[in-house]
Amino acid sequence: MRPPEVAAAVVVAVVALLAVAAAAAAAAPLPAALRLERALPHKGVPMRHLMERDRARHARRGLLGGSAAVAGVVDFPVEGSANPYMVGLYFTHVKLGNPSRTFFVQIDTGSDILWVTCSPCTGCPTSSGLNIPLDSFNPDTSSTSSRITCSDDRCTAALQTGEAVCQTSDSPSSPCGYTFTYGDGSGTSGYYVSDTMYFDTVTGNAQTANSSASIVFGCSNSQSGDLTKADRAVDGIFGFGQHPLSVISQLNSLGVSPKVFSHCLKGSDNGGGILVLGEIVEPGLVYTPLVPSQPHYNLNLESIAVNGQKLPIDDSLFATSNTQGTIVDSGTTLAYLADGAYDPFVSAIAAAVSPSVRSLVSKGNQCFITSSSVDSSFPTVTLYFMGNVAMTVKPENYLLQQASVDNNVLWCIGWQRNQGQEITILGDLVLKDKIFVFHVGECHDVIREKPVCEHGQYDVNGSLQRASYWGLIPTGVVVILVHMLIFGTSRR
C-alpha cells in the first residue's frame, strides 16, 4: 500500500468535453503506436477472473477491499487495449542499461516506481501471452549500473514514504530494498539501482532525437501470485505517480522533460495510443479541481446521472477521505463503483434500456441481449464533477460484449461493485478514448488539450499562451495551477 503524500499546493483537474475540432485534420501526426497482438480469447473469460486481476493489482494500494528548463517532450510507444478479452491493460517499453535492453512495462498512474524483472529472479515468468519477448535486467552486465545503498539520500527519502526498505541492522553500504505486497499474497521485492534510460525526445521543430538520462528504478528479484502468471505477463510496472523517485519526477529534476505527462489510450481492438512526458495541447477546456494532498489522482465526483436523471445516491458518498473517493487509475482494467452507488446505477441502466432489449442476470452480473446497436439500445451516463462539469460516458464505456449468437449480442455491465468499499475507481474501460494530461509540477499557465488520439500537438517548452485562455475558466476555479489533470473526449 502506498503511504499518503502531502502535495505542495492546490490540485486542479481540467476536463475537456469537446467535439473534434475541424483543425484536427491539419495537425501533425503523432508517433505511430505499436501493433497489438491478441493475447486472450475474444470471448469466454469470466468476469470473476477479470475482477480478480484488478483486485490483485489494486490491493497493494488499498483501492479494492519546482522545475528546471526542459529539453523537450519524451515520447513512449503504447501497446495494449482496454478490451479485457484481448489484453485488458496498456503497456509501453523502456530501454535500460549499457548495452541497452528493452523491457515491456505496464502503464500505471496508480503507483510511483518503475521496476523491472532482474536476474536472478524467483517466480518471475519467462514467457508472455501478450506475444512480447520478456527479458531480465542484470546490473552486473551493464557498464553504467550502480546499486543504491541505504546511506544514499535517495534511499533515505524513499524510506520516509514507504517506497524503500532498510533494516536497522543493515550497514550503510547495504542495498536499498523495496517490497510491494498484494492483498492476495502476491507481490514483488528487490532493490534499487541507478542506470541509463534511453528514450525519444520531440524537440521544438517536431524533430525526434535519441536521448538518455541516469535514473533510479527497481530491480525485482522475487515475484509471487498473479505476477508469476504468463497469460498477460510483462517485465514490470511503470509508475506515473508523484513520488520523487517516479521517472517523471527524476527526468524533470534533470531538466530532460516537463513535470507533466499525457496519455490517450485508444479503445479500439487494435489498441495503442499516446504516452508522452509533456502536454498535448489545444484550446477549449472546462475545469474541475482535483482533491489536494492525496497519494492518487483523486477527482471530486459529485453525482451520476443516467439519461439525464440523477441517481438517488447521497452526495456525501463521493466525498474524499481515507476510506472514500474517486480515483483515476490506468492500472485498472474495469471500473469499480463505491458499494453504495452500485445498485442504484445498475437499476437505472436496466430501467432505461430499449423495450427490445431483454435483461438477464449471468453469473451475478446484470446483462442484456439485443440485436440492435448499443448506442440506440442503452442510455448514456453522465459523471458530474465539482464546478458543474459533466463527462458523458457512452454505453461502450460501461458495457462489455460477452458473447454473440446470430444477430443477438450479450452485453454485461462492466462497472463492478467495490464490495465493502466506498472508493470509486475509473479504470481503462472508462478512460479509453480520452486524453488525460497530468500536471504534477508548478505551472502558472492554462493547459490546452487536443481531444483526439490520432493527431495532436506537443507543447515542448511548457510556455503556454495564457492570455488567450482566461475566458475559458469558469467562475470560482483557482487559476494559479500547481497540480492539475486534464481529460477530454477523443475521436474514434
pLDDT score, position 449: 31
Q: Is residue 5 part of a domain?
A: no
pLDDT score, position 262: 85
Sign of torsion over alpha carbons 440, 253, 200, 35: negative
From the list 108, 112, 152, 428, the catalytic residue is 108
Q: Is 119 helix (H, G, I), strand (E, B) or coil?
A: strand
Distance CA 416, CA 338 (A): 9
Residue 212 has pLDDT above 90, yes or no: yes
Residue 22 has pLDDT above 60, yes or no: no
Residue 450 has pLDDT above 60, yes or no: no
Q: What are the residues facing 483 on neighbouring strands?
A: 11
Residue 201 has pLDDT above 50, yes or no: yes
Least confident of 38-42, 216-220, 314-318, 457-461: 38-42
Sign of torsion over alpha carbons 324, 326, 332, 334: positive
Same-domain check for residues 160 and 296? no
pLDDT score, position 441: 61
Same-domain check for residues 85 and 212? yes
From the list 329, 428, 433, 459, the catalytic residue is 329
> Are the C-beta atoms of 221 and 188 separated by less than 8 Å?
no
Q: Is 135 in the active site?
A: no
Residues contacting 149, CB < 8 A, separation 6+: 155, 172, 173, 174, 175, 176
Q: What are the residues facing 405 on neighbouring strands?
A: 408
pLDDT score, position 297: 86
Q: What are the residues facing 165 on neighbouring strands?
A: 177
Residues contacting 347, CB < 8 A, separation 6+: none
pLDDT score, position 48: 60
Instruction: Tally helices (H) and strands (E) across the chain.
Output: 6, 31
* Mean pLDDT in residue range 98-109: 94
| Cα 329-107-96 angle, rounded to 5 deg | 150
Q: How far are the Cα atoms of 22, 261, 456, 465, 479 from residue 469, in angstroms, in the given order? A: 19, 21, 18, 8, 11
The grid coordinates of residue 399 equal 458495457
Domain range for 474 is: 286-439+465-489
Same-domain check for residues 222 and 358? no
* Percent of the chain surpassing pLDDT 90: 47
Query: 378-407 pLDDT, tens per residue?
Result: 999 999 998 888 888 999 999 999 988 888
At 361, which amino acid appears? V
| 221 conformational bin, left if phi > 0, alpha if psi -120 to 50, beta if neither | alpha
Same-domain check for residues 122 and 248? yes
Residue 476 has pLDDT above 90, yes or no: no
Same-domain check for residues 169 and 250? yes
pLDDT score, position 420: 93
pLDDT score, position 303: 96
> Are the C-beta atoms of 227 and 184 separated by less than 8 Å?
no
The residue whose grid cell reads 487536443 is 450
Query: 152-168 pLDDT, tens per residue?
Result: 999 999 998 889 999 87
Q: Is residue 3 part of a domain?
A: no
pLDDT score, position 287: 64
Same-domain check for residues 208 and 302? no
Same-domain check for residues 155 and 241? yes
Q: Is residue 29 part of a domain?
A: yes
pLDDT score, position 17: 28
Q: At 54, is the pLDDT very low, low, confident or very high (cuts 50, 70, 90)?
A: low
Q: Is residue 444 part of a domain?
A: no
Same-domain check for residues 236 and 340? no
Higher local confidence (pLDDT), 184 or 172: 172
Q: Is residue 185 part of a domain?
A: yes
Query: 402-439 pLDDT, tens per residue?
Result: 988 888 999 999 999 999 999 999 999 999 988 777 87
Which has the closest alpha carbon to 209: 403, 365, 73?
73
pLDDT score, position 57: 52
pLDDT score, position 389: 83
pLDDT score, position 64: 53
The grid coordinates of residue 480 equal 494559479
Residue 235 has pLDDT above 60, yes or no: yes
Q: Is residue 378 part of a domain?
A: yes
Distance CA 479, CA 140 (A): 49
- Last-in-domain residue among 243, 258, 280: 280
At 180, which amino acid appears? F
Averaged pLDDT of the chain: 77
Q: What are the residues facing 318 on neighbouring strands?
A: none
pLDDT score, position 465: 27
pLDDT score, position 448: 32
Q: Is 406 in the active site?
A: no
Higher local confidence (pLDDT), 90 or 444: 90
- Last-in-domain residue among 226, 253, 280: 280
* Mean pLDDT in residue range 7-28: 31
Number of domains composing the chain: 2
pLDDT score, position 165: 94
Which has the closest alpha carbon to 117: 138, 99, 131, 97?
138
Residue 5 has pLDDT above 50, yes or no: no
Same-domain check for residues 128 and 183? yes
Q: Is 30 helix (H, G, I), strand (E, B) or coil?
A: coil
Q: Is residue 339 part of a domain?
A: yes
Q: Is 388 helix (H, G, I), strand (E, B) or coil?
A: coil
* Mean pLDDT in residue range 446-452: 33
Q: Is residue 355 part of a domain?
A: yes
Q: What DSSP assignment string belongs to 109-147?
A: TT---EEEEEEEEES--S--TTS-----B-GGG-TT-EE
Query: 285-320 pLDDT, tens per residue?
Result: 566 677 888 888 888 999 999 999 999 999 899 999
> Are the C-beta atoms of 272 and 78 separated by less than 8 Å?
yes
Same-domain check for residues 166 and 236? yes
Q: How far are the Cα atoms of 85, 168, 410 from residue 159, in angstroms, in the given order? A: 39, 12, 49
How many alpha carbons lie under 13 Å from residue 248 in its C-beta half-sphere? 30
Distance CA 447, CA 254 (A): 23
> Are the C-beta atoms of 116 and 237 separated by less than 8 Å?
no
Same-domain check for residues 161 and 97? yes
Rounded to 10 degrees, the C-alpha dihedral 314/319/323/327 comes to 110
- Last-in-domain residue among 252, 280, 308: 280
> Residue 211: which CATH number?
2.40.70.10
Same-domain check for residues 250 and 293? no
